[in-house]
Chains A and B, each alone.
Chain A
């Protein structure tokens, strides 16, 4: 019978093509709009490192002004002072730990014909690469020993390696960065976590870095730092004074394997803050936080307001489209009252009729879903074009989304078809069979 209903649905859709087109377009537009915004939100809130997002924690300490809390007191500061992150680093209390900041510098290629290169960099600890599962084409990250002995080592991005070494294995070679020679220890394969969770403060959807260098180089003034700096207390003169200041500009991540380790680490942080209080620092109440990757993205509101607002709007849009479909289906099915009466006379039960008309609704839903998928694809292309870099890589449909689109269309159309179908099944045959 299923194939028979499909055939009847197809005949009905084709015969009343105007009405069908209207419904398919309405559902297609609704699904298209909803899927476009859902995809953007889905990718914005995606887990960038699902395999260990529960074990990576971002550290926050409330070192702020006792008179004027950070973020109106809603959250502790989003970065740490150099003093605190250095102390935490030295303590080595976590399974792995990484202090980092954004950096930049100029590379002078050996080849005098090549122009110097300004690169965006990240100054970080050795653990960065293992903590965040950074993939390598050549070599690896540097070791903790390299950090301790303050070696001049560098990890290049694939792109930078392509530019400087034509994509060859450059491990062991040297580059001149900010006037100093650095030894290449590794080349990162294409790596672009979305969101770029390890540093939200400089843009959750920014590109990953061109080079990675040891964090201590910043303190030694061998490389310039960039990124956000926030101060609440005047600093003294000079870079030494700045490093010792209460300005926050470093980020600190730890890897903790179990809930127990997390508890212990929090204890350690609390003890650390209590200790610092004795030096007159941390005058605010203790408010130390450990947020895992997804919690941190949530706290930092990585999903833009605009995206959420659009999603809310698009779902209302979908509802309008469905109301439209309910109305049109109702019109269509009630228009078939004589046929329904006749089918009953010829032996169709209510259940049979119900199946027939629900299948017809579902067919329209699937057509609408396919159109919606196409429109969502165009919509995402449009979003990418309109928003530019900001949405780069955030506007792509995967299989999950495609299935969701058609599924959503199917389910919502079946829902929209329920009432009209119910009405159709309850048509009294006797009244329909009499000719007028």
Chain B
């Protein structure tokens, strides 16, 4: 379960202060598939970065699986990212120097699995996204959709509780995009919580729950949980 209470994020440069998130409150339950929409600059990426522990917040409270993220140091955050969170990006972000096998291997290495376990997981997840036969290929030898599938395999390899996706279909044509989304739905059905940032309304609607971010706040909730009602009130 992910709980954010009154999270603020202020970017401070020499003479400008930007308030990216203002008293941001959100709760995402186990097994949810949440899509986050909002106009450019609304703060949805900042929200995702904080949710993914890639960025720290200025103040507020953030509990991930009951653990207070604010109390973690850099190492602790790295461990938690590795154990509980999987990422999918718009730009796929595969390491160009490494082949597919080695790309999926990266988080498993940081997890410290033994060689046998890593091999099993890599093969299993590449199988799952339908690219097991191409594991010795470099990312540059694949199409965009295939690259995104590898990124998903990599994200799932550590069995994360949460899958954070930032415009996962933004660089794909609609046919490929549908394929990727179907895959995400399957994953969600198997129990992984998914939070997906997108500006594509059609895509967003396929999620179980949609929230909209505007000026750094959660401005609209379609499916409201009782606790969150109180929080906003």
Chains A and B share a contact (CB less than 8 Å) = yes
| Contact indicator A346/B82 (Cβ below 8 Å) | yes
Asked if B141 is at the interface (CB within 8 A of a chain A CB), the reply is: no
Which of the residues A345, A348, A351 comes within 8 Å of B52, measured between beta carbons? A345
List the A side residues contacting B3 at CB < 8 Å.
Answer: none
Asked if B216 is at the interface (CB within 8 A of a chain A CB), the reply is: no
The docked-state distance in angstroms from the alpha carbon of A348 to that of B83 is 11
| Contact indicator B166/A350 (Cβ below 8 Å) | no
Which of the residues B81, B90, B96 comes within 8 Å of A345, measured between beta carbons? B81
The verdict on A348 contacting B110 (CB below 8 Å), with A430-B54, A433-B89 known, is yes
List the A side residues contacting B87 at CB < 8 Å.
Answer: 345-346, 433
| Contact indicator B74/A346 (Cβ below 8 Å) | no
Which of the residues B93, B106, B109 comes within 8 Å of A1, measured between beta carbons? B109
Asked if A67 is at the interface (CB within 8 A of a chain B CB), the reply is: no
Most buried by B among A11, A338, A347, A351: A347
Closest partner residue, chain B, to A343 (CB atom): B106
The verdict on A435 contacting B109 (CB below 8 Å), with A346-B81, A430-B49 known, is no
Asked if A229 is at the interface (CB within 8 A of a chain B CB), the reply is: no
The docked-state distance in angstroms from the alpha carbon of A230 to that of B230 is 108
List the A side residues contacting B95 at CB < 8 Å.
Answer: 339, 342
Closest partner residue, chain A, to B89 (CB atom): A433
- Shortest CB distance B101–A (Å): 12
List the B side residues contacting A434 at CB < 8 Å.
Answer: 45, 89-91, 166
Which of the residues A1, A339, A342, A344 comes within 8 Å of B78, measured between beta carbons? A344
| Contact indicator A346/B55 (Cβ below 8 Å) | no
| Contact indicator B54/A347 (Cβ below 8 Å) | no
- Shortest CB distance A179–B (Å): 83
The docked-state distance in angstroms from the alpha carbon of A203 to that of B96 is 62
Asked if B111 is at the interface (CB within 8 A of a chain A CB), the reply is: yes
Closest partner residue, chain B, to A349 (CB atom): B78
- Shortest CB distance A264–B (Å): 68
B54-87 with Cβ < 8 A to chain A: 54-55, 74-75, 78-79, 81-83, 87
Closest partner residue, chain A, to B157 (CB atom): A346
Asked if A4 is at the interface (CB within 8 A of a chain B CB), the reply is: yes
- Shortest CB distance A28–B (Å): 24
Asked if A300 is at the interface (CB within 8 A of a chain B CB), the reply is: no
List the B side residues contacting A348 at CB < 8 Å.
Answer: 78, 82, 110
| Contact indicator B97/A12 (Cβ below 8 Å) | yes
- Shortest CB distance B107–A (Å): 4
List the A side residues contacting B98 at CB < 8 Å.
Answer: 11
- Shortest CB distance A268–B (Å): 72
List the A side residues contacting B191 at CB < 8 Å.
Answer: none
| Contact indicator A347/B91 (Cβ below 8 Å) | no
| Contact indicator A435/B78 (Cβ below 8 Å) | no
| Contact indicator A435/B97 (Cβ below 8 Å) | no
List the A side residues contacting B49 at CB < 8 Å.
Answer: 430
The docked-state distance in angstroms from the alpha carbon of A349 to that of B93 is 18
| Contact indicator A342/B79 (Cβ below 8 Å) | no
| Contact indicator B54/A433 (Cβ below 8 Å) | yes
Asked if B171 is at the interface (CB within 8 A of a chain A CB), the reply is: yes
Asked if A352 is at the interface (CB within 8 A of a chain B CB), the reply is: yes
| Contact indicator B54/A345 (Cβ below 8 Å) | yes
Asked if B217 is at the interface (CB within 8 A of a chain A CB), the reply is: no
Which of the residues B52, B96, B110 comes within 8 Å of A352, measured between beta carbons? B110
List the A side residues contacting B214 at CB < 8 Å.
Answer: none
List the B side residues contacting A343 at CB < 8 Å.
Answer: 106, 110
The docked-state distance in angstroms from the alpha carbon of A350 to that of B75 is 7
Asked if B154 is at the interface (CB within 8 A of a chain A CB), the reply is: yes
| Contact indicator A433/B166 (Cβ below 8 Å) | yes
Asked if B170 is at the interface (CB within 8 A of a chain A CB), the reply is: yes
- Shortest CB distance A8–B (Å): 8
Asked if A233 is at the interface (CB within 8 A of a chain B CB), the reply is: no
| Contact indicator A347/B78 (Cβ below 8 Å) | yes
The docked-state distance in angstroms from the alpha carbon of A149 to that of B17 is 104
List the A side residues contacting B52 at CB < 8 Å.
Answer: 345
- Shortest CB distance A399–B (Å): 36
A348-380 with Cβ < 8 A to chain B: 348-352
The verdict on A4 contacting B109 (CB below 8 Å), with A15-B97, A345-B81, A433-B89 known, is yes
Closest partner residue, chain A, to B170 (CB atom): A435
Closest partner residue, chain B, to A16 (CB atom): B97
Closest partner residue, chain A, to B154 (CB atom): A346
Closest partner residue, chain A, to B109 (CB atom): A4
The verdict on A349 contacting B79 (CB below 8 Å), with A12-B97, A433-B93, A434-B45 known, is yes
Most buried by A among B54, B78, B166: B78
Asked if A193 is at the interface (CB within 8 A of a chain B CB), the reply is: no
A258-299 vs B, Cβ < 8 Å mask (1 yes, 0 no) = 000000000000000000000000000000000000000000
| Contact indicator A350/B74 (Cβ below 8 Å) | yes
Closest partner residue, chain A, to B79 (CB atom): A347
| Contact indicator B89/A347 (Cβ below 8 Å) | no
Asked if A105 is at the interface (CB within 8 A of a chain B CB), the reply is: no
The docked-state distance in angstroms from the alpha carbon of A346 to that of B83 is 9
Closest partner residue, chain B, to A345 (CB atom): B87
A318-352 with Cβ < 8 A to chain B: 338-339, 341-352
Asked if A69 is at the interface (CB within 8 A of a chain B CB), the reply is: no
- Shortest CB distance A346–B (Å): 4
| Contact indicator A435/B171 (Cβ below 8 Å) | yes
The docked-state distance in angstroms from the alpha carbon of A346 to that of B105 is 10
List the A side residues contacting B170 at CB < 8 Å.
Answer: 435
List the B side residues contacting A351 at CB < 8 Å.
Answer: 75
The docked-state distance in angstroms from the alpha carbon of A422 to that of B30 is 38
Known: A11-B98, A12-B97, A433-B93. 7 other contacts (CB 8 A): A339-B95, A346-B154, A347-B82, A430-B54, A433-B54, A433-B89, A435-B89
- A and B contact pairs by CB, cutoff 8 A, 11 listed: A342-B93, A344-B78, A345-B93, A347-B81, A350-B74, A352-B78, A433-B54, A433-B87, A433-B166, A434-B89, A436-B91
Closest 8 CB pairs of A and B: A347-B82, A435-B91, A349-B78, A346-B107, A347-B110, A430-B49, A430-B54, A15-B97
